[in-house]
Amino acid sequence: MAWLVTGGAGYIGSHVVRAFRAEGIDVVVVDDLSSGHRSFVPDGVPFARGTILDGELLTTTLSKHSITGVVHVAGYKYAGVSVQRPLHTYEQNVTATAVLLAAMQQTGVTNMVFSSSAAVYGTPHTDLVTEDTPKSPESPYGESKLIGEWLLRDQSVAAGLRHTSLRYFNVVGSGAADLRDTSPHNLFPRVFDALVDGRVPRINGDDYATPDGTCVRDYIHVADLAASHVAAARRLDAGQPIEPVYNLGSGLGVSVRQIMDTVARVSGIDFEPEIGPRRPGDPDRIVASGELAARDLDWRMRHSLEDMVRSAWESRQAASA
pLDDT in tens, the chain (321 residues): 799 999 999 999 999 999 999 999 999 999 999 999 999 999 999 999 999 999 999 999 999 999 999 999 999 998 889 999 999 999 999 999 999 999 999 999 999 999 999 999 998 888 899 999 999 998 999 999 999 999 999 999 999 999 999 999 999 999 999 999 999 889 999 999 999 999 999 999 999 999 999 999 999 999 999 999 999 999 999 999 999 999 999 998 999 999 999 999 999 999 999 999 987 767 888 899 999 999 999 999 999 999 999 999 999 998 877
- CATH code matching the domain that covers 2-171+219-248, chosen among 3.30.70.20, 3.40.190.10, 3.30.200.190, 3.40.50.720: 3.40.50.720
Domain boundaries, the chain: 2-171+219-248, 173-217+250-288+302-320
Q: How far apart are CA 46 and CA 29, in angstroms?
A: 6
**What pLDDT was estimated at residue 294?**
97
Answer for the pair 254, 135: CB distance below 8 angstroms, yes or no.
no
DSSP 8-state assignment for residue 217: E
Length, in residues, of the chain: 321
256-267 vs 187-196: helix crossing angle, rounded to 10: 40
How far, in Å, CA of 49 to CA of 289, rounded?
36
**Cβ distance 223 to 19 under 8 Å?**
yes
Any catalytic annotation for residue 141? Answer: yes
Contacts of 281 (CB under 8 A, 6+ apart): 123, 138
Residue 293 three-state SS: helix
**C-alpha span between 304 and 214 (Å, rounded):** 20
CATH topology of domain 173-217+250-288+302-320: UDP-galactose 4-epimerase; domain 1 (3.90.25)
What confidence score (pLDDT) does residue 150 get?
A: 98
Q: Show Cβ contacts of residue 67 under 8 Å, excluding neighbours closer than 6 positions.
A: 2, 3, 4, 28, 61, 107, 109
How far apart CA 251 and CA 288 sit, in angstroms, is 5
The tally of CA atoms less than 13 A away on the side-chain side of residue 186 is: 17
- The dihedral through the CA atoms of 145, 243, 99, 50 has a sign that is positive
pLDDT at 1: 75
What is the pLDDT, as a whole number, of residue 184?
A: 87
Catalytic residue among 11, 76, 141, 219: 141
Residue 161: count of CB within 10 angstroms of its CB: 20
Among 297, 162, 159, residue whose Cα is nearest residue 236: 162
Q: How many Cβ atoms are within 10 Å of 237's Cβ, its own excluded?
A: 15
Half-sphere exposure of 270 (CA within 13 A, CB side): 0
User: What span, in angstroms and rounded, lies between the C-alpha atoms of 141 and 93?
Assistant: 8
Tell me, what's the pLDDT at 19? 98
Alpha carbons 122 and 146: distance in angstroms, whole number:
11
